[in-house]
Chains A and B, each alone.
Chain A
Amino acid sequence: MKLINTVVTVVFLLASQFAYSGDEIDQTLEVTATGEVAIENLRGKVKIVGWQQNKVHVSGELDDKAKGYEFETDDGYTIFKVKMPRNMKSRQFKNTQGSDLTIKLPVDSKVTFESVNGDVTVSDVKGGAKIHTVNGNIKATSLNKRIELTTVNGNINAKKLDGKFQLSTVNGRVKDRDSTGKAHFETVNGSINSNTQAKSITVENVNGSIDLDLPKVAELEIATVNGEVDAKLVLLADAQIDITSVSGSTDLNLSGEIGGDYRLNSHAGGRIRNALTDDAVKKQKYGPSRSARFSIAGGDAKVEITSVSGDISIDGK
């Protein structure tokens, strides 16, 4: 079996040297069920789908400027790479098209994907996924284990992720639905919207709103600059909530195991509205700071919110 795979690999390698750019591709390799598949494509659309066969199948059209491709597998590691000329200037890409590919791989594979210009869709991959692009959107559905979705200029749309996942963009929105596990969301210039069931969540954001509807929070950490936080949280027992904000308002609605200690601190003029208890907000005698510290019986939650130049509002049932 190994000999057949080696022969097939050699044949495909030879064939790939003679593939013309813009040409169609329809190739398959036998691979291991739980191996790693690495995909590299400079520009164009790529769709990655997990399937039940122990094969990697690549179909579609190569980049108009491609000089062939590399497609080989060895000892559980499979690579598909669209080869491009070196040192190309941007004007040389004008009026040409990038790749348009569909890549199917075993559902229990781990997949890594690198691109510069182009959107990528990835679904039903259970062994882990590391998806990086620079200018392009990422759409991900039903991924498991360690998941990293990163783009620079583009949106991230994720659904049903299950594992330890990180969604990160510079200019773009992050939208996450129905995920579980451990979540990290990060944007520089864009909003974050999630209803994750992950129990541990971290959020970092500059210039964008943060909208969270979290039904099972054990740990939540938010750091935002110029962003409005609007969060509806159902706390688990002993929940730890830590929110820091500069120049943005924080609006929390809490339910669940809300018993515990609360520390709300605002600096440089931010107001505090505490609708959770009757405890008063104290104003610093000399200076613009305000604080509210109180406890609610029946729990060990710790909620700390620190704001510089931003209002804090907290209520709940």
Chain B
Amino acid sequence: MNDADLEQALDQQISQLPKAIAPQRDLWAGIDNAIEHQAQQQTDKVKPRSVVYRLSAVAAGIAVFGFSAWMVMTNNPTIDGIDSIDGQGVVAQQDMANGDDETLNYVNDLSSLFEQQKQALLVKYQDTPSYVDNWQGQLDELDKAAEAIKQALVNDPTNAQLIKMLQQTYQQQLDLINTVNKSPWQTI
């Protein structure tokens, strides 16, 4: 018998097999139980993370609001260091280790907050003559540095040193705008 004949014989025998093979017992009850047990396990895994996420999100929202309110009330805004932010429970070290997305969300919130404050200062001083000619260039350098740090954070989002560096560059920008535009005769 050659290969072609063998193949034809096999096809014929396969076509004669029963279309369905009935199990020796009812399997659906077991399948139902297995599905229910798996769902319970997934729920147990998700619960702790979602609580942490919700608390972090709420705390982050409070911190962002708190920062905004505090900065509006002061002429010389400061952006608190990561330690004090930890103290407010926004994104503590442990939470950062557990949630890269939360950290990047926090960084985005920080950047938005800083941008609002920077624009407010620039508007405040727009008609004030500055004592420094090249301060916008220095501001641009700090802005580029901030972007470089944010890019590094994408690859290493839980790096507390990088976040501290980002806060420092933001604070330096705000300090620079205030220093070069504030009239010295306000203090004399």
Contact = CB atoms under 8 A, between A and B. Distances in A.
Q: Do A and B come from one complex?
A: yes
B29 to A, nearest CB: 47
B172 interface: yes
Contact of A247 (B135, B138, B145, B161): B145
A265 interface: yes
Given A246-B145, A308-B162, A132 B184 contact: yes
Interface in B165-184: 165, 168-169, 172, 176, 179-180, 184
A265 B142 CA distance: 21
Interface string A163-203: 00000001100000000000000001100000000000000
B149 A308 contact: yes
B169 A116 contact: no
B172 A308 contact: no
B70 interface: no
A170 B178 CA distance: 12
A308 B141 contact: no
B152 A268 contact: yes
B166 to A, nearest CB: 10
A153 interface: yes
Given A116-B184, A246-B169, A206 B148 contact: no
B188 A268 contact: no
Task: Categorize the interface residue count of chain A.
Answer: 20 to 34
Contact of A308 (B138, B165, B188): B165
B149 to A, nearest CB: 6
A121 interface: no
B148 A309 contact: yes
A157 interface: no
A304 B145 contact: no
A150 to B, nearest CB: 9
B161 A304 contact: yes
Interface in A201-254: 204, 206-207, 223, 225-226, 244, 246-247
A152 B132 contact: yes
A306 interface: yes
Contacts of A244: 161, 164-165, 168
Interface string B73-85: 0000000000000
B5 to A, nearest CB: 55
Contacts of A257: none
A85 interface: no
Contacts of A267: 152, 155-156, 162
B148 A152 contact: no
Interface residues of B, number: 30
B149 A134 contact: no
Given A170-B132, A289-B155, A304-B161, A246 B188 contact: no
Describe A's contact surface by its main secondary structure: strand
B145 A225 contact: yes
B151 interface: yes
Contacts of A171: 132, 134
A40 B134 contact: no
B13 interface: no
B184 A114 contact: yes
Interface in B31-62: none
Interface in B126-162: 131-132, 134-135, 138, 141-142, 144-145, 148-149, 151-152, 155-156, 159, 161-162
Nearest to A205: B172
B141 A207 contact: yes
Interface of B: 131-132, 134-135, 138, 141-142, 144-145, 148-149, 151-152, 155-156, 159, 161-162, 164-165, 168-169, 172, 176, 179-180, 184-185, 187-188
Given A115-B184, A188-B172, A267-B162, 17 more contacts: A114-B188, A152-B131, A170-B132, A171-B132, A188-B135, A188-B138, A206-B141, A206-B172, A225-B172, A226-B141, A244-B165, A246-B169, A267-B152, A284-B155, A308-B149, A308-B152, A309-B148
29 contacts: A40-B188, A114-B187, A114-B188, A152-B131, A152-B179, A152-B180, A153-B131, A170-B138, A170-B176, A170-B179, A171-B134, A204-B168, A204-B172, A206-B141, A207-B138, A225-B169, A244-B161, A246-B169, A247-B144, A265-B159, A268-B151, A284-B155, A287-B155, A287-B156, A289-B152, A289-B155, A304-B161, A308-B162, A308-B165
